[in-house]
Amino acid sequence: MEQRTWLVVPLYNEATVVREVIATAKKTFSRIVCVDDGSSDASAAEAAAGGAVVVRHPINLGQGAAIRTGLDYALRDPAADYFVTFDSDGQHRVEDALAMVQRLDSEPLDVVVGSRFLDKRTTLSPIKRLVLRAGVLFERMSSRVELTDAHNGLRALNRHAAESITIEQNRMAHASEIVAEIGRKKLRYAEQPVHILYTDYSRSKGQSVWNSVNILSDLFIK
Amino acid sequence: METQFAIKVILIVVLVAFAAFLMLPGKGARHLALRRLSMLLLLVVLVVAVIFPSLVTQLANFVGVGRGTDLLLYGLIVVFIGNSLVQQRRHRKTELEITRLARLFAIENAPDAATVFAQPAPSPGSGTGEETDRNTPSVR
């Protein structure tokens, strides 16, 4: 099953950590594509050194575009059945990804989405928790997809889901767009409790809550 | 307060129309035609206003604005906002096209996905890393 799974890792200026992230994931998943989104540091070389194949955007397009590129690339492998979107900064755990793929393999599901809020392990600042809660409410109302975590980068998709989900939001709004697409394309989905490793590194690079404003305007203004 | 009622209604209606325009998907030919027609209309109005300044004042009084210059200022603001919206939409469209182009370019320049991991690499990095490096110059 691991041989039929591709890890899709959007990559932007993570040279200090990406090699180790890839090397760790590589112990479980042999097929990893890093989509280097026009990094200005050595991210691409580091990812390749970790054992990933690197697809390079000639210019910076944003994480949504990088995920779509990675999916399109992995779909070209006819042996690929499962696709996992995985962050390059080391905040996702490989065992969570594996458990999600196992569910795709054994249950009648198209998508398994990670959630931080199905158990109490993940601790967040109150304001961040509030913003994420608001995001969840908004997504439930606009897409009728019932998820508990609005912006979790860890997702497992089968071939049908990977082919049908459209991502036109280049920047961070793609996460909401993917949820909307799950509803629109009537994909069978489930949530998986995952643990996010908030290291000092990932926190320092983490999203500002101001981004919620940008995400909303990206979604509404055509 | 009451005297400015007409201009308030007009301005709000126009601005709401802009907002609706912003949310609705655009249709190519009609969109372009409407934009060109409104541009033409604007030019005609402007020429008339230059030749007969008193008409502007009369119109201003009619809709409840004191002076013609105030009406012109309102008009200018409305046109400016409308123009910004059109530019923003066009910018988004261009962005989408560039994205498609760049993504296709990236995938075409990458090694074949079906075979890149076909033979297990002897050690992490050595096999696939070379594969990637070989392709790097063509991407740059």
Would you say B24 and A222 are in contact if contact means Cβ atoms under 8 Å apart? yes
Residue B124 above 60 pLDDT? no
Q: How confident is the model at residue B13 (pLDDT cuts 50, 70, 90)?
A: confident
The pTM of this model reads 0.76
Q: Which residues of A touch B121 (CB under 8 A)?
A: 51
What is the rounded distance in angstroms from the CA atom of residue A11 to the CA atom of residue A28? 19
Q: What mean pLDDT is predicted for residues A52-78?
A: 94
For residue A179, count other CB atoms closer than 10 A to its CB: 29
The answer to whether the Cβ–Cβ distance between B121 and A51 falls below 8 Å is yes
At residue B133, does pLDDT exceed 80? no
How many whole angstroms separate alpha carbon B41 and alpha carbon B46?
8
- Residues B2-10, mean pLDDT to the nearest whole number: 74
* B107/A48 Cβ within 8 A: no
Q: Which residues of B touch A30 (CB under 8 A)?
A: 117, 120
Residues of A in contact with B100 (CB under 8 A): none
Residue A88: which domain range?
Answer: 2-220
CB contact under 8 A, B125 and A55: no
* pLDDT of A172 higher than 50: yes
Question: How many Å apart are CA A83 and CA A4, to the nearest integer?
Answer: 9
Nearest CA in chain A to B125: A51
Q: How confident is the model at residue A213 (pLDDT cuts 50, 70, 90)?
A: confident
Average pLDDT, chain A: 88
Give the C-alpha separation, A112 to A106, whole Å: 12
Give the integer Cα–Cα distance in Å for A141 and A144: 6
Cβ of B114 and A79 within 8 Å? Answer: yes
Point out which residues pair with A181 in neighbouring strands.
Answer: none
Q: Which two tokens stand for residue A159?
A: 């071939």
Percentage of chain A exceeding pLDDT 90: 59
B1 touching chain A per CB within 8 A: no
Looking at residue B112, the DSSP 8-state letter turns out to be: P
| Residue A48 pLDDT > 90 | yes
Q: Give yes or no for B79 touching A (CB within 8 A).
A: no
pLDDT band at B140 (very low <50, low <70, confident <90, very high): very low
Model pLDDT for residues B54-112, shown as the tens digit of each residue: 888 888 888 888 888 888 888 888 888 888 888 888 888 898 999 999 999 999 999 99
Question: What is the percentage of chain B residues whose pLDDT exceeds 70?
Answer: 76
Asked if pLDDT for residue B23 goes beyond 70, the answer is: no
For residue A133, with 0-12 CB atoms within 10 Å meaning exposed, 13-18 middle and 19 or more buried, which class applies?
middle
Cβ A65–B114 below 8 Å, yes or no?
A: no
Closest chain A residue by Cα to residue B109: A55
**For an interface test with B, which of A5, A12, A61 has the most B Cβ atoms less than 10 Å from its Cβ?**
A61
First to last CA, chain A: 40
pLDDT at B135 over 60: no
pLDDT at B46: 81
Chain A neighbors of B25, CB-CB under 8 A: 222
Residue B52 has pLDDT above 50, yes or no: yes
Pick the most confident of A59-63, A167-171, B30-34, B134-138.
A59-63
The DSSP letter of residue A18 is H
Cβ contacts (< 8 Å) between B94 and chain A: which residues? Answer: none
- Residue A95: φ, ψ to 5°: -65, -30
Residues from chain B contacting residue A162 (CB–CB below 8 Å): none
ipTM over 0.85: no
Cα–Cα distance for residue pair A178/A183, rounded to 1 Å: 9
Q: What is the band of B130 on the pLDDT scale with cuts at 50, 70, 90?
A: very low
Q: What is the DSSP letter of B44?
A: H
Closest alpha carbon within chain B to A76: B113
CATH of the domain at A25: 3.90.550.10
Average pLDDT, integer, range B2-7? 71
Half-sphere exposure of A71 (CA within 13 A, CB side): 25
Interchain contact, B114 vs A55, CB within 8 Å:
no
Lowest mean pLDDT among A99-103, B28-32, B113-117, B136-140: B136-140
Q: Which of A139-143, A198-202, B9-13 has the lowest mean pLDDT?
A: A198-202
- CA-based nearest residue in chain B for residue A218: B92
**Mean predicted confidence (pLDDT) in A196-220:** 72
Based on the structure, what is the number of domains in chain A? 1
pLDDT digits (tens, 9 = 90+) for A106-164: 999 999 999 987 777 666 778 877 887 787 788 777 778 888 886 788 999 999 999 99
In eight-state DSSP terms, residue A204 is: H
Distance set, CA A111 to CA A9, A99, B121 (Å):
17, 13, 30
Residue B129 has pLDDT above 50, yes or no: no
A31: nearest CB among B95, B96, B117: B117
Q: Are B86 and B35 in contact (CB under 8 A)?
A: yes
Nearest by CB to residue B25, choosing from A61, A79, A222, is A222
Best A39, A56, A63, A75 member to test B by mutation, with max B CBs in 10 Å, is: A56
